[in-house]
Structure 1
């Protein structure tokens, strides 16, 4: 059964360090950051990517005074 879980992309040890908590969906900013991270071969965790995109969103909102649509960054 473990081999089937590994083949399906699951983890038999229950280690979910690189997945986001249940109920939390990735916005477009997180998806783009994750895609670029994967393409460049970097080893940055999802939590670090989330923190980075949140920082960029905060800087944008501070500089422009406009809120970012939650569809793009929540």
Structure 2
């Protein structure tokens, strides 16, 4: 669950957190998802924007807000 004042996590955010966790475990450098929240939100928002621009289709808010 999101901390107060932070954006709500959607499936894209949770997926990116899982990838970071997996990479962190394999490299020996654990990643704290809470510290990366604002950066991850920017990454997923940019990816959503690129998808919508390329396809002309809206991404459901449940997937990416």
Question: Which TM-score band applies after superposition, normalised by the shorter structure?
Answer: 0.7 to 0.9
Q: Which residue of 2 aligns with 1:48?
A: 39
For structure 1, which runs of at least 5 residues remain unmatched after alignment? 1-19
* 1:32 and 2:15 are equivalent in the alignment: yes
* 1:22 and 2:13 are equivalent in the alignment: no
Aligned length: 56
* 1:67 and 2:50 are equivalent in the alignment: no
TM-score by length of 2: 0.74
Q: Give 1 or 2: higher helix fraction.
A: 2
- Higher relative contact order, chain-length normalized (CA < 8 Å, sep 6+): 2
- Which structure is larger by alpha-carbon Rg, 1 or 2? 1
CA-CA distance at 1:34 after TM superposition: 0.5
For structure 2, which runs of at least 5 residues remain unmatched after alignment? 25-29
CA RMSD of aligned residues (A): 2.2
